[in-house]
A and B are shown apart, each in its own frame.
Chain A
Amino acid sequence: MTARTAIARTNLYLALGCIAFALMLAFLWIPLDTNSGLIEKVRRQVTIGDALAPTLAAFMIGLGGVLVLFQGRGAAQDGIGGRNLGFLARLLAGIAIAFALMRWTGPGVVWLAGLVSDQELTYRALRDTAPWKYLGFLTGGSFLIAALIAAVEGRVTGRTVVIAVCAVLVLIALYDLPFDDLLLPPNGDV
């Protein structure tokens, strides 16, 4: 299969996907998930309903799909293959772990501290107090940076970890230390 054929096939899939998505939007999602129609008549006054604008957006997506279908030629984009999807899956897994670390490290450490000290400690009560408020961001943020650097370098080194921790400390200094009103992750959620 030549590169041009592969790209034409990518464009074909894109066009068909867009047309299918537009039809699904126009005939399923929009009618089922909006309270008013395209045009509404309220007290003898005709107004534009909430469904009109998204339906036009769906029409645009479908129209674009049709144009790509008939314009199909071209040789510029890379296309999407198994390797791209594999990269996305790894990336998303890394981000999910980083977010989980951000969300649960602080509450977990506070729970452990409560066990050790035999006190009733809650993360919510401590989320505006150093060092507790930095735990999640420091571990999750450092993990995210270190994991991505290591993925490109193909190995984990001490230098990578030091760079990641330092970068997150700089972010803490940038966003948290000067401002009382800004919350670092995950302190707005807990």
Chain B
Amino acid sequence: MGALDYIWLGIAAVFQGPELFSVAGVGISVTLVMILAGFLLGIVVGATPGLAGPMAMAISLPVLISIFGFTPDALLPVMGFLIGVMKGATIGGAVPAILFNTPGTPDAYMTTLDGHPMAQAGQAKKALKIAHVSSAAGDTFSDIVLILCAPFLAILVEAYLDLPEKTALLILSLAFIAAVIGGSVGKGIISMGLGLLAAYVATGEDFYPRLSLGSQTLAQGFPIATAILGVLILGEVFKSLEDLWRDHRSAGPRAEPGQSGDQALRWTDIRRIAPYIGRSAVIGTVIGALPGIGSTLAATLGYTAGSRRHARRRPGSTPFGKGAPEGIAATEAANSSVSGANLIPVLSLGIPGNAAAVFLILAAESIGGFNPGPSVFRFTADTVNPELVVAFGLFTAMMVANLLNWTIGGAFMRVVGVMIRVPKHILLPIVLTLTLTAIYVQEARISAMWFAIGFGILGYLMRRLGISHLPFVIAFILGGKLEDTARQAFAATGGDAWFLVTSPIAAVFMALAVAVVALSLRKPQEVKA
């Protein structure tokens, strides 16, 4: 089988998979419906301050797995839904940022700077259209880069990296994530160390489950859902609840500014913002391809680069920060182009780069039959590699989601402004209960809910102490893989204690790991994680 056959099989798996219903005799596959459902849910969630794409992914995952089961046929509908949520949330975050000066997602903060002044000047619809076009363009560009790069990177990894090099690559990834996320290298390393420690409780090769303190409850280890949902979702819920509790305030209804004038997005507008979209899409894609660096930094860099260009090329027009359409375009293209590129390390190396990628890996691990990593891209000639078909199915799902984004995304995002009216102090306790229920239906024991609460408190403390929680989550996911690969590499090299530095490639990876930590130590000051 050739590459084209695999691409065709992937497309067919999405369009000709199990049929849900038919329209005028044309069967509509369940995967397509799930992508649409995820996309619409993502926009709603993104437009709701206090909610985020990963929350919706976390809560819907057990329901989706219950619906579709643990068969390989479940992979594309479930992961298609999650991809839809990821993409929908990206554009949804711009809605409250523009209409109400409240970013729906953290990466939409920069959108408020020009989006809200435009809305106040009676140009809200136009601002939303600019945000939509820029976001969809950045996202599509990023997906194309993903589709072109991930297979080649994976093939390179499989061809040139043996077990010691793969171990060193995992160490480099963890060092990079710990060093670059947040403002303090030390805190990033603490977060990573805690994640590794949690991953090693009750695992290992001995009969006795290590670090279990002789307890039957701990002997089963920490279920992956409790650690991830606890630190990522419950930690954020606890922190936000405390902020609300301290302020004794609720997000009451806010008035949308009145609209006037020409709201249409014309060809001249698109020509005006196109250079900003292009530049930010490249920035966001490069940032997104590096594991751990989030869309917020991409938005900041895209905005800054756009601002410089704007001041130089258009000194007489509305400046950035005062309602410049180019400011919205630069931000939205940059933060949206992170989402596709973030999947490059996931699909080619098996290393998640952000929270959304964590849930895609979690879905793949829960369902089985697809292990994101370099082994996916084996173009077997004699037999069909089902994982490769799924990978091309995922690429197809991403392009379908982009198509939805271009066609109905703009219209839908303009009607979800109403979500700002949902009071946060009512929403968060419901999210807490929903998350705990999602954990219980997966684990069927109250101790799992207590574990999640424990990890939630850890996530809360991390946020209060300025420790980024993402290194914890990624280390928790990669901890087992790191130990297994190191064990195999150690055995394969005949018990060579220096296996991480004897091979030149592994030595380079290790040197880079040390260098990235050492260079990050020179950061001038902590910034908020």
Do B184 and A74 have beta carbons less than 8 Å apart? Answer: yes
Do A153 and B189 have beta carbons less than 8 Å apart? Answer: no
Q: How near does chain A come to B213, taking the closest CB pair, in angstroms?
A: 6
Interface: B429 (CB within 8 A): yes
Do A99 and B197 have beta carbons less than 8 Å apart? Answer: no
Interface: B519 (CB within 8 A): no
Q: How near does chain A come to B38, taking the closest CB pair, in angstroms?
A: 16
A57-B200, A58-B197 as given contacts; A34 in contact with B210, CB under 8 Å: yes
Do B206 and A50 have beta carbons less than 8 Å apart? Answer: yes
User: Which of B194, B241, B437, B445 is close to A148, meaning CB atoms less than 8 Å apart?
Assistant: B241
For the A-B complex, the count of residue pairs with Cβ-Cβ distances under 8 Å equals 227
Q: Interface residue count for A (Cβ, 8 Å)?
A: 82
Do B241 and A91 have beta carbons less than 8 Å apart? Answer: yes
Interface: B314 (CB within 8 A): no
Interface: A113 (CB within 8 A): no
Interface: A145 (CB within 8 A): yes
A71-B521, A154-B248 as given contacts; A48 in contact with B490, CB under 8 Å: yes
Q: How near does chain A come to B367, taking the closest CB pair, in angstroms?
A: 15
Q: How near does chain A come to B465, taking the closest CB pair, in angstroms?
A: 5
A53-B196, A76-B183, A154-B248 as given contacts; A144 in contact with B429, CB under 8 Å: yes
The chain B residue with its CB closest to the CB of A179 is B66
Interface: B528 (CB within 8 A): yes
Do A60 and B196 have beta carbons less than 8 Å apart? Answer: yes
Interface: A6 (CB within 8 A): no
What residues on B are CB-neighbors of A137 within 8 Å? 437
Within the assembled complex, what's the spacing in Å between the Cα atoms of A74 and B457?
23
Q: How near does chain A come to B360, taking the closest CB pair, in angstroms?
A: 22
What residues on A are CB-neighbors of B200 within 8 Å? 53-54, 57
- Binary CB contact string for chain A from 1 to 34 against chain B (1 if under 8 A, 0 otherwise): 0000000001000110010001001000110011
Interface: B246 (CB within 8 A): yes
Q: How near does chain A come to B177, taking the closest CB pair, in angstroms?
A: 12
Interface: A110 (CB within 8 A): no
Interface: B491 (CB within 8 A): yes
Interface: A189 (CB within 8 A): yes
A residues contacting B by CB (< 8 A) are: 10, 14-15, 18, 22, 25, 29-30, 33-36, 45-48, 50-51, 53-54, 56-69, 71, 73-80, 83-84, 87-88, 91-92, 95, 99, 102-103, 137, 141, 144-145, 147-149, 151-154, 163-164, 167-168, 171, 174-175, 178-179, 181-189
B residues contacting A by CB (< 8 A) are: 62-63, 66-67, 183-194, 196-197, 200, 204-208, 210-214, 238, 241-242, 244-246, 248, 250, 425-426, 428-430, 432-434, 436-438, 440-441, 443-446, 449-450, 453, 457, 460-461, 464-467, 479, 482-483, 486-487, 490-491, 495, 521, 525-529
